[in-house]
């Protein structure tokens, strides 16, 4: 009799335990069935007119060329735009920049076919309402983008934060003005300045050749390194240091007059110089002898769409 009672207690307890477990599972199912409404990747990418590429946050050992050199990118109805130059930023392409390719977004991936750099498949992760991560699995590299609208995007801030790139957007800067005031100094004889990208070794050159020469005929007398830095509490003026090999440094305050003219104030002599950019370099345009971006797009887009239809 005791054995039967004990068996009954065990069976009854097992039924209670099973019942409790079932109730927990039901509650979990109800919770899972009520997620917050989502947004498609296409809608997310097009919700913001401008995506600022926060290049300083980039992680990984490789690079995606068209993101590495872009200040902003935009996703508009299948067309991929980029602002790769500071010259004309805010006006080129109505603020979007150049039409440099096309894209297709599905689920959590965006395929971008760049006119020059080819096809890249990037995983997209939404980090906040206006921030996304673009991850390239081939190079194990992540780029972080911040969404803005053109009407509120501060193009001027981007321009002045990246003045060193602006100096590189012309093949050479030619001196067109020297103030009558100021103490005579060695820089009075410099008529041309050329700025290369950082990491190119000696990244600036200067010449005392006469004004008005063809760019390819200029002979550069000096080489060295240059550095651009902020001035505390000053938004639209920078410092420029030219470090000449074996000849010491020249220090200036740099002001941008317009998209092709800069002013250099030389504090030690109190002389003002003006230089004009010559030979504008349009980054991300097609190379000489190759089809233009629009010509490339006409015959590449058909192949790209065929590839997508197979997925």
pLDDT band at 32 (very low <50, low <70, confident <90, very high): very low
Query: pLDDT tens digits for 99-142?
Result: 999 999 989 999 999 999 999 999 999 999 999 999 999 999 99
- Choose among 161, 276, 292: nearest CA to 228: 161
Q: What fold, for 41-153+304-309?
A: Lipocalin (2.40.128)
The whole-number pLDDT of residue 106 equals: 87
Fold agreement between 41-153+304-309 and 170-280 = yes
**pLDDT mean over 247-254:** 91
Contact (CB, 8 A) for 104 and 111: yes
Buried/exposed code over 270-290 (b: 16+ C-beta within 10 A; e: otherwise): ebbbbbbbbeeeebbbeeeee
**pLDDT mean over 34-55:** 82
- Residue 172 contacts by C-beta under 8 Å, 6 or more apart in sequence? 192, 193, 194, 215, 218, 277, 278, 279
Say which DSSP state 260 is in.
T
Q: Enumerate the domain spans of the chain.
A: 1-35, 41-153+304-309, 170-280
Strands 234-244 and 141-148: unpaired
The whole-number pLDDT of residue 199 equals: 57
Query: pLDDT tens digits for 177-218?
Result: 999 999 999 999 999 999 987 655 568 999 999 999 999 999
Q: Is the pLDDT of residue 310 over 80?
A: no
Contact (CB, 8 A) for 37 and 120: no
Q: What fold, for 170-280?
A: Lipocalin (2.40.128)
Task: State residue 260 phi and psi, 5-degree precision.
Answer: -135, 10
From CA 187, how far away is CA 178, in angstroms rounded? 10
Instruction: Answer yes or no: pTM beyond 0.75.
Output: no
């Amino acid at each position: 009799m005791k054995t039967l009672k004990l068996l009954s207690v065990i069976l009854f307890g097992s039924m209670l335990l099973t019942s409790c477990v079932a109730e927990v599972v039901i509650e979990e199912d109800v919770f899972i069935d009520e997620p917050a409404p989502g947004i498609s990747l296409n809608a997310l990418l097009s919700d913001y007119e401008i995506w600022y590429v926060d290049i300083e946050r980039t992680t990984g050992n490789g690079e995606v060329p068209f993101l590495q050199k872009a200040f902003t990118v935009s996703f508009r109805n299948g067309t991929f735009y980029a602002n790769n130059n500071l010259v004309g930023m805010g006006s080129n392409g109505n603020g979007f920049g150049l039409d440099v390719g096309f894209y297709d977004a599905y689920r959590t991936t965006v395929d971008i076919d760049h006119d020059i750099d080819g096809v890249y498949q990037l995983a997209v992760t939404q980090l906040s309402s206006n921030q996304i991560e673009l991850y390239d699995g081939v190079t194990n590299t992540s780029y972080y983008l911040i969404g803005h609208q053109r009407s509120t995007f501060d193009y001027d801030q981007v321009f002045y934060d990246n003045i060193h790139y602006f100096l590189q957007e012309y093949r050479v800067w030619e001196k067109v003005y020297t103030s009558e005031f100021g103490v005579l100094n060695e820089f009075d004889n410099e008529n041309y300045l050329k700025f290369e990208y950082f990491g190119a070794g000696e990244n600036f050159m200067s010449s005392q050749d006469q004004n008005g020469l063809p760019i390819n005929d200029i002979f550069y007398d000096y080489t060295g390194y240059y550095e651009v830095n902020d001035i505390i509490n000053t938004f639209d003026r920078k410092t420029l240091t030219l470090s000449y090999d074996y000849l010491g440094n020249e220090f200036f305050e740099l002001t941008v007059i317009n998209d092709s003219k800069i002013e250099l104030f030389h504090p030690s002599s109190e002389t003002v110089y003006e230089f004009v950019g010559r030979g504008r370099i349009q980054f991300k345009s097609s190379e000489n002898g190759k089809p233009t971006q629009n010509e490339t797009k006409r015959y590449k887009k058909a192949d790209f769409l065929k590839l997508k239809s197979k997925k």
